[in-house]
Structure 1
Amino acid sequence: MRFSVKTGAPLLALALALSACGTSGGDDEEASSGGGEAGTCEDVAIGYFGALTGAAANLGINIRNGVQLAVDQFNEENADCQVSLEEYDSAGDPNQATGLATQAIGDDSVIGIVGPAFSGESDTAGPIFAEGGLPTISASATNPDLSQNGWDTFHRVLGNDASQGPAAATYIADVIKSEKVFVVDDASAYGAGLAEIVEESAGDAVVGTDTIQTGQTDFSATVTAIRSSGADSVFFGGYYAEAGLLVQQMRAAGVEATFVVADGVKDPGFIEAAGDAAEGTIITCPCLPPEEEQEFYAAFEEAFGAAPATYSAEAFDAANVMLEGILEGNTDRESLLEWINDYSGEGITKTITFDEDGEPENISVWAYKVENGEIVADQEIETN
């Protein structure tokens, strides 16, 4: 892998030119052969599935707002085809996912889901969505195993941790020049899975590992282990609430090792939790910096009074894949699933095409850095 600073991404139209047929996954006749007439729809909804409350709610709200913007723009442009948005707030808890997924498949008007947002809830809800034939596109769930369950309904628009993990390890070795890496995870499906990949990729440079729990606030034992190991970098697989407290306690104990985290920490909530200790943290993410797409950035800021954040743009793309299919007449789950499986079109984050497992064929991983209390893009990590 090599590292390079990405100098710019192509600026696309804000919406996906939904009235055009050229970006569909099949020919015009096939695209209009679903449950409704192309250009019209009635009693059709897509859903957002993920956290709107709970410790990692910020990440879910980012995604929900990206979906909401796509739906609002679609409805403004298509008077004869109004699509509603249903919200399924999981609080990021896999234990709540079963009931919510059952609720979603029981609502016949819901023909597609953007989500689930997190890997743990995706693992729980995935078989239910598959049984109900309800297509999903996640903008954020990155555990590699999710696409290996044989769920025809599963898709995601971002690279998984099989690309993010090795990229993080290479950044640690080649950019940070770290020779001693300590790996910590939060025992979640996302955090533990990613940490394991980083540990394997870092190889002999790993001088220690530890596991914490989500909701934990005292990391003194972990900090002691890190300090004793002599590590010059620490990788943490988990979410921003625990990451903020961990690095704060590391710095208070005099541990100066570079703190490296991943997409679950890419949120202002990390800086709020960590305070000044957040400075210098490296964050990897298989996501495009939102400011790369200036029209989307401006529209999002106008709609929500805040800049788009982690996975807002990916959620916007995921929703627009479904909305384009709906406009082409795919107004039931079966035909919309066929549309998504065969889809090829331009999003604002990438050209979107799914392989037979629902994985995107185009991926990118970026490194971000906390500077002066802000999360800023550092460089794109080439994954080929």
Structure 2
Amino acid sequence: MSGARLGRVLALAAASSLVLAACAGGGGGSSTGSGDGSTVKIGFMGDLTGENSAIVIPPRNGAKLAFDEYNAKNPKVKIELVEYDSQGKPEQATSLITKAVGSDKISALIGPAFSGESKAIGGVLDQNKIPSISPSATNPGLAANGWSFWHRVVANDDDQGPGIADFLVKAKSPKKAFVLSDDQEYSTGLADAVAKAFEGAGVAVEKDRFSKDASDYSSVVTKVASANPDVIVYGGYYAQAGRLLKQLRDSNVTAPFASGDGSLDAQLVSAAGAQAAEGAILACPCNIPSADVTGPLKSFYDNYKKATNADPAIYATEGYDAATAYIKAIEAGNTTSEKINDFLKTADFEGVSKPIKFKANGEPENNAIFIYQVKGGVLKLLGAADEAKLEG
């Protein structure tokens, strides 16, 4: 994110904080009448209609599934899911959170989904004492803000970056790597983490950055081709990754291409083309269940597919687990924002994605990274990063 844009976002956030502090009155949250019980409002914020919405719709669906299953039991306190479509834009998230906390009076939030919007509104949520759990924001700096109401259920890029680099060192023994990013918060954070890990392993690194709104990457492609790296890593989302990979392959740059969780979607393949995308390596702090899973994941897979008419995709399980953390708080009698947040400090349960337990700074205790590869035009899970082996 550019300095000018960040300045505007922070200014908006500061203004919103003043408004919200007056509206929210200390973060009591919402508990409205619902027959003989009450209803707690929990928001979901993320890109639901923008260019990277395929990363966010699955965790939204996972969260909705969890709440629907809970409400179907007819509990005394029901949960209302309120959706906020930020399109992944920090400035839009800043505007939406004013409504969410002010007039909607949410008690908690799942999200924001992306790191840039999380950075933009995290302080607002903390000031108004509204707990949040992101199913997918991975920038490491989010945990360093001193926010006491912020949490996430995924490993951050200080885990993902080394996971990608270490796997590529083991699989490809590269002497030189080219690491790319665009100007989004998530992209730069992941790219920096990958580059640092490569350098620590003795791999020479060249870096470059481009605008996320660019469509022609020819200058970047020329630099990569001239460098003749052994591996290429892009830290960013599939909307940009697909275009980048296509242009690299069209220019006969054949080095193995890798990216992180933001690119783990079938639209990477459709944007790049099946031939260009074949063999692409993707990492994610997520374990996407397939049709042949067993145990608790099998039940989740079947229920998700029945509810959405689609297979679970990236962060669907994490959205479900974030919602489950709130469900467990409410089942334990916690219906105000501060009491829900107090419960999260002690939460410890077996989620469908992983064991869920939060550190004091809101980070998850479990930080496993998984490797996927495009094979035959589809994304295939190869396993945990420390055990996975490339195919072909």
Q: TM-score, normalised by structure 2?
A: 0.86
Whether 1:81 and 2:80 are equivalent positions in the alignment is no
Range with bigger deviation, 202-211 or 269-278: 202-211
User: In 2, are the aligned partners of 1:199 and 1:206 still within 8 Å (CA)?
Assistant: no
Kindly state the Cα deviation for residue 170 of structure 1 after the two structures are TM-superposed: 0.4
Counterpart CA distance in 1 for 2:98 and 2:352 is 32
User: In 1, are the aligned partners of 2:178 and 2:224 still within 8 Å (CA)?
Assistant: yes
2:315 aligned to 308, 311, 314, which one?
311
Q: Deviations over 1:216-245 (max 9, x none)?
A: 111111111111101121000110011001
Kindly state the Cα deviation for residue 109 of structure 1 after the two structures are TM-superposed: 4.5
Ranges in structure 1 where 5+ consecutive residues have no aligned partner: 1-33
- Match of residue 234 from structure 2: 236
Kindly state the Cα deviation for residue 346 of structure 1 after the two structures are TM-superposed: 1.4
Counterpart CA distance in 2 for 1:74 and 1:272 is 36
**Structure 2 letter corresponding to 1:235:** V
Alignment of 1:220-299 (within 5 A): 220-276=218-274, 277-291=276-290, 292=293, 293-299=297-303
User: In 2, are the aligned partners of 1:263 and 1:283 still within 8 Å (CA)?
Assistant: yes
- Match of residue 334 from structure 2: 330
User: In 1, are the aligned partners of 2:167 and 2:386 still within 8 Å (CA)?
Assistant: no
Q: Deviations over 1:33-72 (max 9, x none)?
A: x989xxx851311110111011111111111111111111
- Match of residue 30 from structure 1: none
Secondary structure (helix, strand or coil) at the match of 2:45 reads strand
Q: TM-score, normalised by structure 1?
A: 0.87
Kindly state the Cα deviation for residue 176 of structure 1 after the two structures are TM-superposed: 2.3
Secondary structure (helix, strand or coil) at the match of 1:363 reads coil
Counterpart CA distance in 2 for 1:379 and 1:79 is 38
Count of residues in correspondence between the two structures: 347
- Match of residue 12 from structure 1: none
Identical aligned residues as a percent: 39
User: In 2, are the aligned partners of 1:364 and 1:382 still within 8 Å (CA)?
Assistant: no
**Structure 2 letter corresponding to 1:286:** P
User: In 1, are the aligned partners of 2:190 and 2:235 still within 8 Å (CA)?
Assistant: yes
User: In 2, are the aligned partners of 1:234 and 1:258 still within 8 Å (CA)?
Assistant: yes
**Structure 2 letter corresponding to 1:312:** A
Kindly state the Cα deviation for residue 107 of structure 1 after the two structures are TM-superposed: 4.1
2:95 aligned to 99, 102, 118, which one?
99
Change (3 A) 1:382 1:364: same
**Structure 2 letter corresponding to 1:150:** G
Kindly state the Cα deviation for residue 98 of structure 1 after the two structures are TM-superposed: 1.1
Change (3 A) 1:62 1:35: closer
Counterpart CA distance in 2 for 1:216 and 1:109 is 38
Change (3 A) 1:329 1:108: farther
Whether 1:339 and 2:335 are equivalent positions in the alignment is no
Relative contact order, CA 8 A, sep 6+: which one is greater? 1
2:181 aligned to 172, 177, 185, which one?
185
Counterpart CA distance in 1 for 2:285 and 2:204 is 23
1:47 aligned to 13, 29, 43, which one?
43
Kindly state the Cα deviation for residue 328 of structure 1 after the two structures are TM-superposed: 1.8
Counterpart CA distance in 2 for 1:185 and 1:212 is 7
User: In 1, are the aligned partners of 2:198 and 2:205 still within 8 Å (CA)?
Assistant: no
Alignment of 1:1-384 (within 5 A): 41-107=37-103, 109-203=105-199, 204-276=202-274, 277-291=276-290, 292=293, 293-382=297-386
Secondary structure (helix, strand or coil) at the match of 1:216 reads coil
